[in-house]
Amino acid sequence: MIDEVMDRFYRIEVPLPNSPLKELNSYVIKADDRNLIIDTGFNRTVCFEAMQKGIHALDIDLSRTDFLITHMHADHSGLVTRLATETSTIYFSRIDAQVYLDEGIWEAMIDYAGMNGFPADELIKALQNHPGFKYSAKTIPELTLIGDNDLVEIGDYRFQCISTPGHTQGHICLYETEKKVLISGDHILYDITPHIESWSYQVNSLRNYMDSLDRVYDLPADIVLPGHRSFFSDLKGRIDELKKHHKDRADEVIDVMGKGTKNAFEIAAGMSWDIDCETWDLFPIAQKWFATGEAIAHLRFLESEGRLHRNTDKEVITFTA
């Protein structure tokens, strides 16, 4: 489906089968000399066909089209190498590029998951079922690196890049000052809560996320265009809801821990999740992975708040309230 958001500014809905996200919002801006596509979908046939259909319907010449990726996740970046031409510029977060270009990142994440209690016999299966692993770009494109306060101009639109770490370390939002439009990527979603995970205790993803919410709180945005689901206008109201959600989740983690000592996988198993499964054992392996990563993010946040202690004296990291 294609929507006209405003003058010469469109959304292509790209299906994400078997994903709770349902679809990706790929934004297309047409101009006389160059076009810009913001985010692309997974590197899989159903996404590629949807993008091709939308590009054809909008009469987009890919040889005169540039791309901007709000963050490195495969549902946003996976197709960019199949759509970009030799004359395309691909704008990409300078910070996320460090991870995106790191060939050893998946091995490091597997090792870290094991350190946090993820069962060894399920680790390879978790990797093989991870959509980011299955549907990422298969070739590494030449990237034009961007970061905080950089400007990207296309036709009548002049976007300021705003660094919003949390969902990824290098996540970028785009703000059009004159038109009061915020392209929020996965930093702020309306129908669902953005996933905040951590696979490194050196990074306090949730603290960064909360600070990034504060950073865009006072933007005078008439419309917010997220990476998934519905557009919305009440930016401050949605940010207030998201901050409350994560504070409630942090309290839930403390409740799940009780007075004992548990690892992140065990804590994730005791948390509430919006998944249609009666027990943790029935969770799809990929969902166990995401849940554990989210538990780690909340545990790291709570540790920084002085509400729990991280025990690193054994092979598997544990926590005590």
Instruction: Count Cβ atoms below 10 Å from residue 140 Cβ, excluding itself.
Output: 11
pLDDT digits (tens, 9 = 90+) for 143-156: 999 999 999 999 99
pLDDT digits (tens, 9 = 90+) for 8-40: 999 999 999 988 899 999 999 999 999 999 999
Q: Are 158 and 147 in contact (CB under 8 A)?
A: no
The number of angstroms, rounded, from the C-alpha of 242 to the middle of its chain's C-alpha atoms is 15
3-state SS of 93-135? EHHHHHHHCCCCHHHHHHHHHHHCCCCHHHHHHHHHCCHHHHC
| pLDDT classification of 141: cutoffs 50, 70, 90 | confident
* Tokens describing residue 213: 């919410």
pTM: 0.95
pLDDT digits (tens, 9 = 90+) for 248-276: 999 999 999 999 999 999 999 999 998 88
Instruction: Count Cβ atoms below 10 Å from residue 314 Cβ, excluding itself.
Output: 9
Query: What sign for the dihedral angle of Cα 132, 134, 140, 143?
Result: negative
Q: Largest Cα–Cα distance in the chain?
A: 64
Residues 29 and 176: their CA atoms lie apart, in Å, by 13
Residues 228 and 218: their CA atoms lie apart, in Å, by 22
Mean local confidence (pLDDT), 204-231: 98
Mean local confidence (pLDDT), 177-197: 97
User: Rg of the chain's alpha carbons, rounded to an integer?
Assistant: 20
Q: Are 267 and 295 in contact (CB under 8 A)?
A: yes
Task: Determine the pLDDT at residue 197.
Answer: 94
Q: In 3D, which of 310, 198, 315 has the Cα closest to residue 261?
A: 310
Q: Where are the domains of the chain?
A: 2-320
Q: In 3D, which of 151, 170, 169 has the Cα closest to residue 159?
A: 151
Mean local confidence (pLDDT), 45-69: 98
Write down the CATH number for the domain with range 2-320: 3.60.15.10
Q: In 3D, which of 253, 294, 69 has the Cα closest to residue 167?
A: 294
